[in-house]
Amino acid sequence: MEDQNPFSQDSRQNQLRAPHQIGKTLKVTALPTYLLALTAILLLGAFFVWGFLGTVSDKVYYSGYNTAKASLQQLEHELTYCTITAPLTGAVSRIDATLYSAATPGVPLFYIVDTEHLKVCFDVLENELHKFGPGTKILVYSVAYPAEAHEAYISAISPVVEKNGMVHMEATLQPHPNLMPGMTAIVTKAQ
């Protein structure tokens, strides 16, 4: 049997003409078809992979990356509206908001107590008003810590005498770890 190239034009024509060699012909001629199909698939796959990796920015658009990135940026921008900034330094004294509830304009979410600018409010009898004036030094003793004296200075005096003969006054205190808003205190004039 002579060696013929099964891929040559002449051998394919000879094999196709002989009906008794159809089984052999299919085997011999089908081999290049499989090889060509496999080669085409591999080449197309290689071109696709090379094209995808070579031009990532072109293919990313089709993958939805840009849409997802734009959505993320929009959500991050909206998240900045969720940050609540306090107008002053202090401590939260009461929370009215509940978890996952929506904020309504004009309705307080919580209350903040200014712990940096403390003041003591007290009343003085009308006949003792002459002893106190703006800037007068007083001593404040909290009931919780009676051994500690805190200096304060009169900052406001009510211009009105109440019906019971008392005059309302306010004095500013320096912040102290043992002083908290709402504490009961004893106030005396400093000597």
In tens, the pLDDT along 121-149 reads: 999 999 999 999 999 999 999 999 999 99
Residue 120 has pLDDT above 50, yes or no: yes
pLDDT digits (tens, 9 = 90+) for 16-50: 444 444 443 333 334 444 444 444 454 455 444 44
Residue 57 has pLDDT above 60, yes or no: no
pLDDT at residue 106, rounded to an integer:
87
Residue 177 has pLDDT above 50, yes or no: yes
Burial (CB < 10 A; 0-12, 13-18, 19+), residue 120, is buried
Report the largest interatomic distance among the alpha carbons of the chain, rounded to a whole angstrom: 139
CA angle 60/65/68 to nearest 5° reads 165
Lowest mean pLDDT among 74-78, 79-83, 149-153: 79-83
Q: Which long-range contacts (CB under 8 A, 24 or more apart) does 122-130 make?
A: 122/168, 122/169, 122/171, 122/187, 123/162, 123/166, 123/167, 123/168, 123/169, 124/166, 124/167, 124/169, 125/165, 125/166, 125/167, 126/161, 126/165, 126/166, 126/167, 129/157, 129/167
Residue 53 has pLDDT above 90, yes or no: no
**Cα torsion for 150, 151, 153, 159, to the nearest 10°?**
40
What mean pLDDT, rounded, does the chain reach? Answer: 75
Q: What is the DSSP letter of 5?
A: -
CATH number of 118-189: 2.40.30.170
How distant is the alpha carbon of residue 114 from its chain centre? 25
Residue 1 has pLDDT above 90, yes or no: no
pLDDT at residue 69, rounded to an integer:
87
Confidence of residue 165 (pLDDT cuts 50, 70, 90): very high
Q: Which of 117, 115, 122 is nearest to 172 (CA)?
A: 117
Residue 93 has pLDDT above 60, yes or no: yes
pLDDT at residue 87, rounded to an integer:
81
Percent helix / strand / coil, the chain, rounded to 5: 40, 25, 35
The model's pTM is 0.50
Q: Which of 183, 68, 187, 92 is nearest to 139 (CA)?
A: 187
Query: Which residues share a beta bridge with 45?
Result: none
Sequence ranges of the domains in the chain: 1-82, 84-113, 118-189
pLDDT digits (tens, 9 = 90+) for 2-18: 555 544 555 444 444 44
